[in-house]
Chain A
Amino acid sequence: MPELKALPIAARAAECPFDPAPELREMLHEDELRRIKVPSPLLGEFEAVAVTRYDDARSLLSDDRLLTGQSLPTQPGNLLSYDGAEHSRLRRMLTGFFTTKRARALRPMIDDVVASRLDALAAAGPGTDLVQAFCAPIPTQVICELLGVPYADREDFRHRAEVALDVNATREEQIQKATDMQAYMAGLVARHRDEPGDNLLGGIVRDHGDELTDIELMGIGNMLLIAGHETITSMLAVAIALLLQHPDQLAIVRDEPSAVDGAVEELLRYCTPATILPRQAAASMCVRGQQIEEGERVVVSILAANRDPRGTGRDLDRLDVRRPPQPHMAFGHGPHQCLGQQLARTELRAALPALFARFPTLRLAVPADEVDYKTTALVFGVRTLPVAW
């Protein structure tokens, strides 16, 4: 056996961080399913089957023998910690709160949040970091609304969330803030138990409070924070950085309301901010005649899969916000696919056109090749995005 290649499977091409790393592209065109060594801060370096083809990814992610729960430390209430019947029991309690109608009903609140951030941005003036001023506060405010965090607590909440989820913070800082957040969630859950608020977490307590423990409810709150904060922050930031480098595409997003929904899908497909999905095989299984053994780890690069042209006859490496409907897996696939996807779409559809309409001359305040992308992180983002207008 040749020595396995070590490859951060989330890797993106050095010269164009929106594209998958050349090694991933190579694998996309090979017939054999390759094993690679994945460096991971959480699990140490581990060996895994790398999946890059769209069809393979789709069939594996919808196969219930492939588990998420085993690849991560268990967190009660976090859907990604469960598989099979336990997962569907918990997920079914939550899906009613994440329907298209519910997401649509949140639109006025989201528009208000966006408007207040645009005012803050105008007040801060050119040179401001868009991540801090716009991309991060929007999802944080939305989550505060969903969880029922009172206004007076929001500044502290935002600070705790940002440090707890900040990859640049020290381990001690992160643990401290995560502990504080846990204590805060406990208080929130206790308040909803007393008197369920008129918001998402309150609704879950009202409808399913007798089936869920306090620890599970806290876990649900934490899950929504973790899943809904960094993903939206990153997606907004990378989509804005990308559009600022494609002014023709930006103009469509800004000027054509009927093109916005499709444009957001294309941006999701092209950026695929949640770059890889880790899994573990609960039984041995077969993909295109090739064996995956019981217990083997599997990493699915939805980034590579979303560029796989097989069977489409389309050039999927090109950004085209007017592209005809193209299925993609930026929200994952199968039982664990993103619970918050309609909410995510609503946030992106509200925020992007509003930003470009308010600041029609928006531009990067640093040269495009100096934008500080996170090219190997599990969630693709930018550290800072200085803009001017």
Chain B
Amino acid sequence: MRVEVDHTRCAAVGRCAGIAPEVFDQREDDGVVILLDAAPPDSDRVREAALLCPAAAIVVHENAAPTPGTPITPRGSHV
């Protein structure tokens, strides 16, 4: 899948970083989203983060092949 974030819409409340920390983080100073992986392996948590983003600032493109050079193995821990 391919993920896009809109920094100008982001409400900086960190829903995404709570749900899918392997793909989303927040800037230290103002909490705005940091996209750690724009082409993560297929993940329901990423879909959930997009669904629950209170600013609708996350777009997930399904069926997008990982771009060359991006990791295809899952990162982060499953909890």
List residues of A whose CB falls within 8 A of some B CB: 92, 95-96, 98-101, 103, 207, 258, 325, 327, 331, 333-335, 337-339, 341-342, 345
Contacts and interface: CB of A to CB of B under 8 A. Distances in A.
Interface in B10-68: 11-15, 17-18, 21, 25-32, 48, 51-52, 54
B26 A101 contact: yes
A333 to B, nearest CB: 6
Contact of A96 (B11, B27, B79): B27
A342 B14 contact: yes
11 contacts: A96-B28, A99-B12, A99-B26, A100-B17, A101-B14, A101-B17, A101-B26, A327-B52, A334-B11, A339-B13, A342-B14
Contacts, number: 55
A228 to B, nearest CB: 15
Given A92-B30, A337-B11, A99 B17 contact: yes
A101 B29 CA distance: 12
A228 B25 CA distance: 24
Interface residues of B, number: 21
A99 B21 CA distance: 12
**Chain B interface main SS type:** loop
Nearest to A207: B29
B31 A98 contact: yes
B51 A342 contact: no
Contacts of A339: 13
Given A96-B28, A325-B52, A341 B17 contact: no
Nearest to A97: B31
Contact of B18 (A95, A96, A331, A342): A342
Contacts of B13: 95, 98, 331, 337-339, 341-342
Nearest to B13: A341
Contacts of B21: 100
A92 to B, nearest CB: 5
**Most B CB atoms within 10 A — which of A96, A100, A325, A339?**
A100
